Chain A
């Protein structure tokens, strides 16, 4: 009995190992390093930074810095963060204060230690931060950084994001962290649907547009210099363009009919849904609206295009050509249309940065008499195999990948109204980012 049980366990272990090998040989970066279950995470301790002098402003800025740094490292999804309750009473503020054996053995038992100090002097803040491999006593320093800026909580927040991203880059397989990225979204908190922006963690929520009408579907350009969205004008829905160089809406061609749901290719072209010729179809054009031409030609409606963010050679979109909306892919010249979903109500596709996955919103069973749970899914494009990311949590829509491919931001009705949430790309570590008013259609910056 015992032997047969052991044999089964051994077989399952071997299968698991073979499986992990298969995964790592196909080298999906977010799987290998990030959300990959069964992959050992780096054990990291992040000691609270200490004051380097006795300025009265230090405690407030230290609290901001330590909270933001901890939150960034926790959000990264690649660390086994050692709980602060395991830390020794004497936490280091600089290299000479590190007691290697205390950190590298239980209770902290950590591999890596982040520590440092912060001090304010004549309105300026200086932050020194280190990352140590505490099990390598001969040559422990992985990272040493110094930052200086105005002594404000906004500046300290940015410094903490930068230091977190340095650590994540070093320990996360060379993939840039996302702590300095932005999320664009639609908020109705002023009474109108306007385009807003916030930090990736929900901090610093600010309006970009004050058009007073209905603005939807914000999409930031790959270089971060422009934001395309759609808005109701006197003559219907048109694509609008916001310039971050000029900090205002700039002119963009008006096409007539309904123009909706812009999407940027990695080299700066746009795909939109336009009904200028009758039914809503997918059009592509250059980033200034020139050289526009139609890719699909059916009663559709065709809407919500998303480019393959890695290659720019394919576009996924939603079409109601057979009835309920389904997800399709095609080459960026409109050929080789492939239906990806086989049933239900599938909308809002977003292409992963690695080019291999789509995430989208799907009511797999939908129609009269069906309860219709509206969940997010992840699909491997080559095989059309999918996994469900959200479960039993209200209506979820508009998923969008983070630039590191480890996170997904989305809108969810789970708290009673529509709000923006983020999660790791395996569906774990779900966090609410917005709370005021109704907030929808999040779009993550490319870097």
Chain B
């Protein structure tokens, strides 16, 4: 009797397992999983960044100081991940806009600080610098939020500066490359990168740059700038990248 019960139980189990596996086929209704619970409200991070002094000669030190609250992931472009609050000495050779991103459960916040590097040498090297070098020094890439292809309000400034440079150097032609981070599908990321490159192009065209000077291409996640699996690196890879074309 016990043996029979056991084998009955086993066949019952096997059949219900079979039923589970085949649910897709017979259309038996299963309640859909409940929607994910909304995350608890977290305060939005705050961030501030300052550079002292904000105008120096080449080779002179500048102290960057920053403070954030409510952030778990803080990074500064060209420096990388940093403590939530702190300071660091830098010696910029060119005028630089330092850009800080603070991310936390409540969202993300950005702050920038501009250091102007002024010198006669600078003037001289500017006049001697090739157009391509000037392009590399002045035209800054545009960065995107995760799975987004609209230009962030915080990037409008640098994009306007890019447009201004291109207006002043009207014989430069460019390619805008759309890039994505490593997460998600190869094909979808290529399509997303297309929209990113187009968004940058459209912004430049609106700023008065002729569309005929601009080519676009998406590389999706095929040519990452950074290959570490964390948000700092992913942010580096979600970009519209400017390439100088002769």
Q: Give A residues with C-beta under 8 Å from B.
A: 2, 5-6, 9-10, 12-13, 15-17, 19-20, 22-23, 26, 28, 31, 35-39, 193, 214, 216-217, 232, 236-237, 257-258, 260-261, 273, 275, 278-280, 299-304, 318, 320, 323-325, 342-343, 345, 347-348, 356-357, 361, 364-365, 367-370, 372, 378-380, 382-383, 385-387, 397-398, 426, 440-441
Contact = CB atoms under 8 A, between A and B. Distances in A.
A318 B187 contact: yes
B36 A347 contact: no
A299 B195 contact: yes
Contacts of A301: 188, 191-192, 194-195
Interface residues of B, number: 48
Nearest 7 A-B pairs (CB), nearest first?
A16-B15, A38-B18, A301-B191, A37-B18, A347-B185, A380-B24, A303-B191
B175 to A, nearest CB: 10
Nearest to B42: A369
Contact of B8 (A6, A20, A380): A6
Contacts of A280: 191, 194-195
A54 B230 CA distance: 63
Contact of A303 (B19, B20, B183, B190): B190
A304 B23 contact: no
B21 interface: yes
A318 B188 contact: yes
Given A16-B18, A37-B18, A303 B187 contact: yes
Given A303-B188, A325-B185, A19 B39 contact: no
A23 B25 contact: yes
B23 A36 contact: no
B186 interface: yes
Interface stretch (B26-34, B61-69, B153-161): B26-34
A345 B184 contact: yes
Residues of B contacting A: mostly:
helix
B181 interface: no
Given A36-B22, A237-B218, A385-B23, A16 B185 contact: no
Name which of A356, A365, A380, A382 has the most chain B CB atoms within 10 A of its CB: A380
Contact of A380 (B19, B25, B195): B25
A20 B15 contact: yes
Interface of B: 1, 5, 8-9, 11-12, 14-30, 32-33, 35-36, 39, 105, 146-147, 183-188, 190-192, 194-195, 198, 215-218, 222
Given A214-B222, A387-B21, A258 B191 contact: yes
Contact of A258 (B1, B33, B190): B190
Contacts of B217: 232, 236-237, 258
A228 B98 CA distance: 46
A38 B14 contact: yes
B213 to A, nearest CB: 16
Nearest to B192: A301
Contact of B184 (A217, A347, A383): A347
A304 B35 CA distance: 27
Nearest to A214: B222
Nearest to B11: A13
Given A258-B218, A318-B187, A441-B186, A19 B26 contact: yes
Contacts of A323: 147
A39 B17 CA distance: 12
Contacts of B194: 257-258, 275, 279-280, 301
Chain A contact residues: helix, strand, loop or mixed: mixed
A28 B25 contact: yes
Contacts of A237: 190, 217-218
Nearest to A364: B33
23 contacts: A9-B5, A13-B15, A19-B19, A20-B18, A26-B26, A36-B18, A38-B18, A38-B19, A216-B187, A237-B190, A257-B194, A260-B191, A280-B194, A300-B191, A320-B191, A325-B147, A325-B185, A325-B188, A343-B35, A347-B185, A364-B33, A380-B25, A398-B185
Nearest to B196: A301
A273 B14 contact: no
Contact of A23 (B14, B16, B22): B22
Contact of B24 (A318, A342, A365, A379): A379
A409 B222 CA distance: 22
A258 B185 CA distance: 16
Given A19-B19, A23-B26, A36-B18, A6 B187 contact: no
A10 B188 CA distance: 50
Given A216-B186, A261-B187, A342-B32, A31 B39 contact: no
A217 B189 CA distance: 13
B119 to A, nearest CB: 41
A128 B237 CA distance: 59
B105 to A, nearest CB: 7
B219 to A, nearest CB: 8
Given A304-B185, A383-B29, 7 more contacts: A2-B1, A39-B18, A273-B191, A275-B198, A303-B191, A318-B188, A325-B184
Contacts of B29: 383, 385
Nearest to B39: A369
B14 A37 contact: yes
Contacts of A236: 215-217
B18 to A, nearest CB: 3
Contacts of A387: 20-21, 23-24
A17 B14 CA distance: 12
Contacts of A368: 146
A66 B46 CA distance: 68
Contacts of A15: 15-16, 19
A342 B36 CA distance: 12
A260 B194 CA distance: 11
B47 to A, nearest CB: 17
Contacts of B146: 367-368
Contacts of A380: 24-25, 27
